[in-house]
Structure 1
Amino acid sequence: MNHETKRDVFEGLVEELANAYIALDGEGIGEELTNEEKQAYMKDYDAALPDDLPVIPELIGKYLIMRKHDRGDLVQALDEGTSFLLDGTQWESVQDWFWFSDVKDSVDTFARAWVLGVWRVEETGEIVKLEEEK
């Protein structure tokens, strides 16, 4: 699973260019990137995750995964998150996080995580990416 962000790919390219600059021999560029290398960078960039992933609490992420596996839709997830038990943890209401959390636009944040299928866990910084259905 690829967890590179656009920034990671960009920094890799900058590093390669810096190394090419160091290789200058005074008569021109030391090593020019081949077309295959350029295409590989473009492919990596296209596959990389966005830099500004939504950040949601771990429990909200578990709820999102649960609703996705139940083949629910976003409207149901937003509407029906009134009380559930997951891993022995009771969350009085997922809607409490939507409406009363310190996260500005938490509903939008949840929706972005839902649509992208990837988010950063608030407590750990870990990136969670839903597996694509076969």
Structure 2
Amino acid sequence: MSNETKREVLEKLAECYAEVYDAYTDETGSPYYCDDEPNYLDEYATALPDDLPVIPKAVSEWIKKCKHRNVTLADTLCMEMRPENVRNWMAFKDRDVANDFDRAGYLRKQDLMASAWVLGIWCVEGTGEIVELEEEK
């Protein structure tokens, strides 16, 4: 894994593109592209993250409900507070034989739910709907 951010990689690509543009223009005397081409760095800045959490609709609805009621993330993840359909999604497959694989899956689902909570944006599993919570004013 690199220590570079995605933005830094995109900026390097933009620099290479500019070098190709300059070389092409110098050699041919005509521009490499039209002046009305979009600024991709600006588009990148406003684009959605590549790795949005993907969660079921029930979990999406639970997060929205909790966020709008100012419930804490800890309470949102709390087993006793979660509705049954959210508990079922996060639960071990079989509580009597809960193995490390089941535990890892449970923790991964907690991570997904927490990521969606913190980012305030996620993808709904099955529908592909992007949900973005508005910041409170």
TM-score (norm 1): 0.63
Once the two structures are superposed, the pairs formed by residues 7-46 of structure 1 within 5 Å of their partners are 27=28, 30-31=31-32, 40-46=39-45
Gaps of 5+ in 2: 1-5, 94-101
Partner Cα separation in structure 2 for residue 128 and residue 29 of structure 1: 45
Question: Secondary structure of 1:63's match?
Answer: helix
Question: Secondary structure of 2:91's match?
Answer: helix
1:107 Cα shift? 0.4
Once the two structures are superposed, the pairs formed by residues 1-134 of structure 1 within 5 Å of their partners are 27=28, 30-31=31-32, 40-79=39-78, 80-83=80-83, 92-100=84-92, 104=105, 105-134=108-137
Partner Cα separation in structure 1 for residue 34 and residue 81 of structure 2: 51
CA spacing shift, 1:96–1:81, aligned 2, 3 Å: farther
Partner Cα separation in structure 1 for residue 119 and residue 134 of structure 2: 11
- Answer whether contact 1:81 1:95 (CA < 8 A) is retained: no
The share of aligned pairs that are identical, in percent, is 44
Partner Cα separation in structure 1 for residue 124 and residue 31 of structure 2: 43
Choose between structure 1 and 2: higher strand proportion: 1
Choose between structure 1 and 2: higher helix proportion: 2
Give CA-to-partner distance per residue, 1:15-54, whole Å, 9 cap, x none. Answer: xx7xx98xx78615624576x977x432321221111110
Question: Secondary structure of 1:112's match?
Answer: helix
Partner Cα separation in structure 1 for residue 34 and residue 74 of structure 2: 48
Quote the residue 1:88 is aligned against.
none
1:106 Cα shift? 0.5
RMSD: 3.6
Gaps of 5+ in 1: 1-5, 84-91
Which structure has the greater CA radius of gyration? 2
TM-score (norm 2): 0.61
Runs of 4+ with >6 A deviation: none
